[in-house]
């Protein structure tokens, strides 16, 4: 159920897009699964045209695709495409990490600690949706600290393109715990002014979702 807002407002549409995006990331909506407008409308208590607009937005984000005479489906990511996008992500995120002032302003560190405390609670409470939301806010706050809003936006968009690749790690307790510890490592590197450690953490932090997805896709290809 979405928050109580008028059915036709932009906020309602944004809430629905966000909810469906989360379900794709968390694997609750599977690759190749059909996005049935009527079913989604009933689940979230919204009108069909709002669902239609939400699916169009998911297509724009690279999370869904429309097949002629069949409808819209959760998009299947090609492993080569995933590898290429992660290559871009590593370059962009490294650049941002190299630009963040060390030490950063105290308010940045305070906000990162506050958000990470939420992430800690979600991981401890086996709340993958809460962990995903806190994770997104952590990285948004961190990359915004580089001072280049265009770079931060490019990082957000490139990460969004491969959200579907995270479905195998986003609900796995071991990977969530690893991410939690690495977030505190990032905060520690910022506090200590350790640029080398900060850059290395940023590079390694995003690799598990890439590697697990590509390995899984390769295994599936061999089985098929």
Domain CATH number, residue 62: 1.10.10.10
Q: Round the CA-based radius of gyration of the chain to a whole number and report it.
A: 18
Judge whether 1 lies within some domain.
no
pTM, two decimal places:
0.88
pLDDT at 17 over 70: yes
Q: Please give the Cα distance from 80 to 149 (Å, whole number).
A: 29
| Range of the structural domain that residue 181 is part of | 79-223
pLDDT at 128 over 80: yes
Judge whether 2 lies within some domain.
no
Closest CA to 200 of 188, 212, 211: 188
What average pLDDT does range 106-114 have in this prediction? 98
3-state secondary structure (DSSP) of residue 224: coil
Final residue of a domain: which of 54, 74, 94? Answer: 74
pLDDT confidence of residue 69? 87
Same domain, 142 and 198: yes
């Amino acid at each position: 159920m979405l928050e109580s807002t008028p059915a036709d407002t932009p906020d309602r549409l944004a809430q629905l897009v966000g909810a469906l995006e989360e379900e794709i990331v968390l694997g609750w909506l599977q690759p190749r699964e059909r996005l049935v407008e009527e079913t989604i409308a009933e689940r979230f208590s919204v009108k069909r045209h709002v669902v239609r607009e939400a699916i169009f937005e998911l297509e724009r984000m690279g999370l869904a695709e429309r097949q002629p005479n069949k409808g819209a489906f959760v998009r299947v990511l090609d492993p080569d495409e995933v590898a290429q996008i992660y290559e871009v992500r590593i370059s962009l995120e490294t650049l941002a990490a190299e630009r963040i002032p060390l030490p950063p302003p105290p308010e940045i560190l305070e906000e990162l600690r506050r958000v990470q405390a939420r992430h800690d609670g979600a991981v401890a409470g086996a709340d993958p949706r809460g962990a995903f939301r806190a994770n997104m806010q952590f990285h948004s706050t961190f990359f915004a600290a580089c001072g280049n809003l265009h770079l931060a936006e490019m990082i957000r968009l490139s990460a969004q393109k491969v959200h579907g690749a995270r479905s195998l790690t986003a609900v796995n307790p071991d990977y969530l715990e690893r991410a939690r510890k690495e977030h505190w490592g990032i905060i520690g590197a910022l506090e200590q002014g350790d640029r080398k450690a900060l850059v290395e953490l940023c590079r390694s932090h995003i690799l598990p979702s890439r590697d697990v997805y590509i390995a899984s896709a390769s295994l599936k290809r061999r089985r098929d």
